[in-house]
Structure 1
Amino acid sequence: MSAVVEVLQGDGPIVLGQPHGGTHVPAPIMARLNANGQGLADADWHIARLYEGLLPSTTVVRANVHRYVIDANRDPSGASLYPGKNTTTLVPLTDFDGRAIWRDGQAPSADEIAGRRAAYHAPYHAAVQAALARAKDRHGIAILFDCHSIRSTIPYLFEGVLPVFNTGTDGGRTCAQVIEAAVHGVARQSGQSHVLNGRFKGGWTTRHYGRPDTGVHAIQMEIAQRAYMHEAAPWRWDGPRAAALRPHLKTMLDTLNTLALSGALTEGKD
């Protein structure tokens, strides 16, 4: 791995955040994971490939380390995103099924978590912040489209089967209503199952950066992995399913790009 974070710079108003696509684990940390943890099951597998080339003007910010090293989409303070619900922490102690991932006595200490936060979490978010600032300086507006995926059925985290498209805006707080409506509208018309602000309402990234009154909007798209891949190790890409899904994602991004460039979202702002 050449860098903690990778940035593919575009000249448009949209930034694609990809905090969970990385699979790199430094060898000393990998050695402390148990056999279950070393399977790295909870990555957003193939997320970079899923969005690749859909809108060439986007800037893409990718975390290269696996979320078991540190989760770049968690509050750095350690506060829960979903109080009262099962979830995983800033440095997870369990996988999405509630099973331990560390060897006995090898879970990281508070001091180690602080070190990982500085080494991995902070650089990713510095890159996201810089990308959004650059887009806003250029266009007067920036839209963070936070890209995620997850297995369709995880009883530890949610009941039943997850819809294919899970749009999150923290109840409409992280972006203009027209942005939320545009993205969810494409999901509704896709013929795929969909939900707005369901189990996944937007992670820390979406909630932290989404400040519509400042011209920075954020929206999260959590995709059920059955829509583009096989949901069991070795986590293979499914070409036909992905080919059916990608046009809907492209329409979402194209629609947001047109909306941002139209000036409608900057009218009335200084």
Structure 2
Amino acid sequence: MREADVHGADDEPNPVAPYEVRRPRQQTEPFVFNSPHSGRVYPESFLATSRLDRMAIRRSEDHYVDELFADVTQLGAPLFHARFPRAWLDVNREPYELDPRMFDGALPSFANIGSMRVAGGLGTIPRLVAENMEIYRGRLSVDEGLARIEQVYRPYHATLRRLIAHTHVQFGKAVLIDCHSMPATVRVAGGSQRPDIIVGDRYGASASHDLSRAAVSFLSGLGYRVVRNKPYAGGFITEHYGRPDRGLHALQIEVNRGLYVDESTLEKTAGFDLLKTDLTEFASQMMAYVREDGAQDQLAAE
């Protein structure tokens, strides 16, 4: 697949698939890595409806996160990632968190129009990108919005569920690492410290405490300032797939973009390669931890 920074899938002779599973030669680890917000294939039809230029519309991307975690396949785990952009469709939301102000007709009665994320302009079909920038020139048709959900959102989650289910069946447990990035301006509430990485486990609801503590410990040991759950405890994916009592664990990893990308140009910086190496080492340490006899029974079913 040829991937420019911003190009239209409509221009491709064979339109690119909306997502990709990168599989190891053989899956040897009970891990699944997922990058739902790193997609950077922008359909021309979408760009034509936006009031934003081709740089501004990229502000909500998790820039290059799929590349940062790409080497986990060499460690024996699959990496699943979106190619479509988060500004077009956000799969880290409920399927129908929709803002009625964005559409030219009535939404289905089952749509969640009152969530905090919808109120903030960040529903399943976002109204805003970062810095409160409005995406669209006008309203969308309801049919267009529902088509994105039926044709891309639902198949995306069906694929993710299969990856997790197959892993769980094969190993008796599964660990989902949901991979994200955050703006360099993020600060921990009540302080001035800029975290390098935030580990989210929905305050213990989506993964075992020991697994979360191990993640924090390994990342801290690599020299990063790491915090847990604040300000990001995990989104819909972490909440929906994490079931520690069934041996299904989900952690969200938020990486500070200031470590590896120039947020004004969206170009990789000199820190990219070191961060990628460290995140691969982190994944390797997590896998070794889960393989240890002491973690086996606990992670299979807390």
Q: What is the TM-score with the length of structure 1 in the denominator?
A: 0.88
Residue in 2 that maps onto 1:5: 19
Shift of 1:45: 1.1
The 1:81–1:248 alpha-carbon spacing in structure 2 relative to 1, beyond 3 Å, is: farther
The correspondence of residues 161-176 of structure 1 with structure 2, limited to 5 A, is 162-176=194-208
Structure 2: distance between partners of 1:237 and 1:189: 24
Structure 2: distance between partners of 1:31 and 1:174: 39
The 1:200–1:110 alpha-carbon spacing in structure 2 relative to 1, beyond 3 Å, is: farther
Report the more deviating stretch, 85-94 or 2-11.
85-94
Residue in 2 that maps onto 1:47: 65
Contact 2:33–2:80, Cα closer than 8 Å, also in 1: yes
- What letter matches 1:246 in structure 2? K
Contact 2:117–2:123, Cα closer than 8 Å, also in 1: no
Structure 1: distance between partners of 2:57 and 2:118: 28
Structure 1: distance between partners of 2:295 and 2:119: 35
Shift of 1:260: 2.6
- What letter matches 1:25 in structure 2? Y
Structure 2: distance between partners of 1:90 and 1:178: 32
Shift of 1:266: 4.5
- What letter matches 1:76 in structure 2? P
State the number of aligned residues. Answer: 265
Deviations 1:120-175 (A, max 9, x none): 111111111111111111111111001111221269xx996741101100101101
Bigger Cα Rg: 2
Deviations 1:179-207 (A, max 9, x none): 10111112333332221000111111111
Residue in 2 that maps onto 1:252: 282
Q: What is the TM-score with the length of structure 2 in the denominator?
A: 0.79
The 1:89–1:167 alpha-carbon spacing in structure 2 relative to 1, beyond 3 Å, is: same
Structure 1: distance between partners of 2:115 and 2:288: 31
- What letter matches 2:147 in structure 1? G
For 2:49, what is the secondary structure of its paired residue?
coil
Q: Which has the higher helix share?
A: 2
Shift of 1:112: 2.6
For 1:19, which of 23, 31, 36 is the aligned residue? 36
The correspondence of residues 127-206 of structure 1 with structure 2, limited to 5 A, is 127-153=159-185, 162-206=194-238
Contact 1:75–1:81, Cα closer than 8 Å, also in 2: no
Contact 2:72–2:78, Cα closer than 8 Å, also in 1: no
The 1:251–1:220 alpha-carbon spacing in structure 2 relative to 1, beyond 3 Å, is: same
Does residue 243 of the first structure (1) align with residue 243 of the second (2)?
A: no
Unaligned runs of 5+ in 1: none
Residue in 1 that maps onto 2:246: 214
Does residue 99 of the first structure (1) align with residue 113 of the second (2)?
A: no
The 1:229–1:161 alpha-carbon spacing in structure 2 relative to 1, beyond 3 Å, is: farther
For 1:41, what is the secondary structure of its paired residue?
helix
Shift of 1:55: 5.3
Report the more deviating stretch, 185-194 or 73-82.
73-82
The correspondence of residues 104-115 of structure 1 with structure 2, limited to 5 A, is 105=138, 107-115=139-147
The 1:114–1:266 alpha-carbon spacing in structure 2 relative to 1, beyond 3 Å, is: farther
- What letter matches 1:186 in structure 2? F
Deviations 1:66-109 (A, max 9, x none): 01211011121315886699462211111111111111x2x324
- What letter matches 1:113 in structure 2? G
| RMSD over aligned Cα atoms | 2.7
Structure 2: distance between partners of 1:190 and 1:62: 25
Contact 2:57–2:87, Cα closer than 8 Å, also in 1: no
- What letter matches 1:75 in structure 2? E
Structure 2: distance between partners of 1:187 and 1:90: 31
Which structure is richer in relative contact order (CA contacts within 8 A, separation 6 or more)? Answer: 1
Identity %: 24
Structure 1: distance between partners of 2:96 and 2:291: 35
Does residue 64 of the first structure (1) align with residue 83 of the second (2)?
A: yes
Shift of 1:6: 0.4
